[in-house]
Amino acid sequence: MQKLLIEGGHLLNGKVRISGAKNSAVALLPAAILADSKVIIEGLPNISDVDTLSGLLEEIGGKVEQRGKTLHIDPSGMTSMPLPNGRVKKLRASYYFMGAMLGRFKKAVIGLPGGCYLGPRPIDQHIKGFEALGAEVTNEQGAIYLRADELRGARIYLDVVSVGATINIMLAAVKAKGKTIIENAAREPEIIDVATLLTSMGAKIKGAGTDVIRIEGVDQLSGCMHTIIPDRIEAGTYTILAAAQGEKMLIDNVIPQHLEPLLAKLREMGIEIEEGEEQLLVHRREDLKSVDIKTLVHPGFPTDLQQPFTSLLTRANGTGVVTDTIYQARFKHIDELRRMNAQIKVEGSSAIVSGPVKLEGAKVKATDLRAGASLIVAALMAEGITEITGLEHIDRGYENITQKLAELGAKVWREEMTPEEIEQFQNS
Ligand SMILES: CC(=O)N[C@H]1[C@@H](OP(=O)(O)OP(=O)(O)OC[C@H]2O[C@@H](n3ccc(=O)[nH]c3=O)[C@H](O)[C@@H]2O)O[C@H](CO)[C@@H](O)[C@@H]1O
Ligand SMILES: C=C(OP(=O)(O)O)C(=O)O
């Protein structure tokens, strides 16, 4: 088990290239189950969530071959093998095996998904959708059993705007008989990416990216080739990091429109950002003004960037209020930031950040993926060395983060933890 060490205070310079989107990748891989021949996905990020899902595809009989960042998935030999335990518990996106296996085999057994603990993460809307399509869904000893004689298109109104439910229902509905309409659908760019892959496979989908998605079911889906979109959350994290500790940083391979709410807030703080077609150039500004942010469904401010943004606010003048309306308890990073001298209070679903403060290096723990990102932003600004444990969360979603930071001039390295440190970490 390793820990990440960062010596703070060094300004970052140069270019960082953004990888393929985690939250697309984790849906594109399960979507390949629906095809009858080889699906090739290009530009995948080298992160542990992708490895875990590749392993799951193999467990159900798929042939998966990795060539650099390209994955060749041959789904022809797959079966509806139950997956009640094991890898499915490691990540959130294993829930996409429900929709994809239901679509192809009309049955599936999938353990309840893991992933970041951000407070309760129910999947009632996924189940509502599957039931509306004609599936019988039961929860037996922590696994979801889904079966249907036939899937029939339906009109489904989501009571809560959910990325996972929107994609999962889409996965099941593309092979249902007749028309499905998903109302109050989520509009995240990753949903469009998955719809693009499914359309290349032969699915008939209209409206992905709006709040009404119309799907006309088809009998057969075939293999295809697809290139993934860049990761807007990784791009947002590096943009925040540039605002926090960059001198002049170029963020390459981004779709700037995907980052509009973040860029608007950074500009309000006084940061100068030049936008190119696929690049952002962020310039240093010493005196930053505090702002308030409120996370909302897309195209609002993304909850996944709330945690790293909180760290940036510690160096701004005044008080900034961060309110998370999506995950009201997504504040586990705050206790760790306080160890680094941050002045932050949590009140209900808001964190109130007072700045500017000089952060100090400390021993801290990443409790979830974006908590890890927030600690990295803080550590780069802090005086002295910060030791971050819990790297398994960070490695789920950030490709080669140590190397990317080092190339920007950060003093960053990994070390093996001692047996005593591992014991302390496991008991904390
Ligand atoms: C793998 C993936 O893509 N993960 C992202 C996805 O997670 P995920 O798909 O799990 O998040 P959702 O969009 O489903 O959740 C949004 C809100 O709806 C609630 N909800 C969701 C489903 C449901 O059946 N019932 C329900 O009440 C959730 O508790 C949450 O409050 O979107 C989140 C919100 O942008 C991001 O933080 C995650 O990075
Ligand atoms: C919460 C996240 O991931 P997941 O939904 O996979 O747990 C995230 O990407 O910030």
Average pLDDT over the chain reads 97
* pLDDT for the residue 373: 98
My answer on whether 183 and 45 are in the same domain is yes
My answer on whether 240 and 318 are in the same domain is yes
Q: Residue 424 pLDDT > 90, yes or no? A: no
Please report which confidence band the pLDDT of residue 273 belongs to, taking 50, 70 and 90 as the band edges.
very high
My answer on whether 296 and 387 are in the same domain is yes
* pLDDT for the residue 427: 84
Question: Measured in angstroms, how far is the CA atom of residue 411 from the centroid of ligand 1?
Answer: 35
* pLDDT for the residue 293: 98
Question: Measured in angstroms, how far is the CA atom of residue 199 from the centroid of ligand 1?
Answer: 24
308 lines ligand 2 (CB under 6 A): no
Closest atom, ligand 1, to C-alpha of 93: 1
Residue of 328, 418, 332, 404 lying closest to 375 (CA atoms): 332
* Neighbouring residues of 135: CB distance < 8 A, sequence distance ≥ 6: 102, 106, 146, 147, 148, 151, 172
My answer on whether 196 and 243 are in the same domain is no
* pLDDT for the residue 158: 98
Q: What integer is the mean pLDDT of 127-137?
A: 98
My answer on whether 234 and 198 are in the same domain is no
pLDDT in tens, 283-330: 999 999 999 999 999 999 999 999 999 999 999 999 999 999 999 999
* pLDDT for the residue 117: 81
pLDDT in tens, 250-270: 999 999 999 999 999 999 999
CATH code of residue 102: 3.65.10.10
Q: What integer is the mean pLDDT of 367-386?
A: 98
Please report which confidence band the pLDDT of residue 119 belongs to, taking 50, 70 and 90 as the band edges.
confident
My answer on whether 379 and 305 are in the same domain is yes
52 lines ligand 1 (CB under 6 A): no
* pLDDT for the residue 66: 95
Which entry of 116, 118, 154, 269 is annotated as an active-site residue?
116
Give me the interface pTM, i.e. the ipTM.
0.99
pLDDT in tens, 66-76: 999 999 999 99
Counting the structural domains of the chain, the total is 2
Question: Measured in angstroms, how far is the CA atom of residue 176 from the centroid of ligand 1?
Answer: 24
Q: Is 224 a catalytic residue?
A: no
Torsion-angle region of 314 (φ positive above 0: left; ψ -120 to 50: alpha; else: beta):
alpha
Question: Measured in angstroms, how far is the CA atom of residue 393 from the centroid of ligand 1?
Answer: 17
My answer on whether 334 and 252 are in the same domain is yes
* pLDDT for the residue 75: 98
My answer on whether 189 and 247 are in the same domain is no
23 lines ligand 1 (CB under 6 A): yes
Pocket test of ligand 1: the residue of 117, 160, 258, 370 to mutate, having most ligand atoms within 8 Å of its CB, is 160
My answer on whether 186 and 150 are in the same domain is yes
pLDDT in tens, 323-363: 999 999 999 999 999 999 999 999 999 999 999 999 999 99
My answer on whether 179 and 129 are in the same domain is yes
Residue list for the binding site for UDP-N-acetyl-alpha-D-glucosamine: 92, 121-125, 304, 326
Picking from 227, 249, 269, the residue at the C-terminal end of a domain is 227
Closest atom, ligand 1, to C-alpha of 326: 31
Q: Calculate what percentage of the chain has a pLDDT beyond 90.
A: 95
Tell me the residue range of the domain where 51 lies: 22-227
126 lines ligand 1 (CB under 6 A): yes
Whether pTM > 0.90 for this model: the answer is: yes
Q: What integer is the mean pLDDT of 12-28?
A: 98
Exposed / middle / buried, residue 124 (Cβ in 10 Å: 0-12, 13-18, 19+): exposed
Residue list for the binding site for phosphoenolpyruvate: 22-23
Question: Which ligand has the shortest distance to the CA of 49?
Answer: 2
162 lines ligand 1 (CB under 6 A): yes
Exposed / middle / buried, residue 328 (Cβ in 10 Å: 0-12, 13-18, 19+): middle
Q: Residue 115 pLDDT > 80, yes or no? A: no
Block residue for tokens 């700045």? 355
Q: What integer is the mean pLDDT of 51-64?
A: 97
My answer on whether 118 and 151 are in the same domain is yes
Question: Which ligand has the shortest distance to the CA of 394?
Answer: 2
Alpha carbon 406 to its chain's center? 23
Picking from 192, 210, 227, the residue at the C-terminal end of a domain is 227
pLDDT in tens, 193-240: 999 999 999 999 999 999 999 999 999 999 999 999 999 999 999 999
* pLDDT for the residue 183: 98
My answer on whether 222 and 235 are in the same domain is no
Could you tell me the CA-to-CA distances from 412 to 361, 385, 405, 407 in Å, in that order?
Answer: 13, 9, 7, 10
pLDDT in tens, 96-110: 999 999 999 999 999
Question: Measured in angstroms, how far is the CA atom of residue 103 from the centroid of ligand 1?
Answer: 21
Residue of 371, 253, 369, 258 lying closest to 309 (CA atoms): 371
Picking from 163, 197, 227, the residue at the C-terminal end of a domain is 227
106 lines ligand 2 (CB under 6 A): no
- The residue whose CA is least distant from atom 12 of ligand 1 is 162
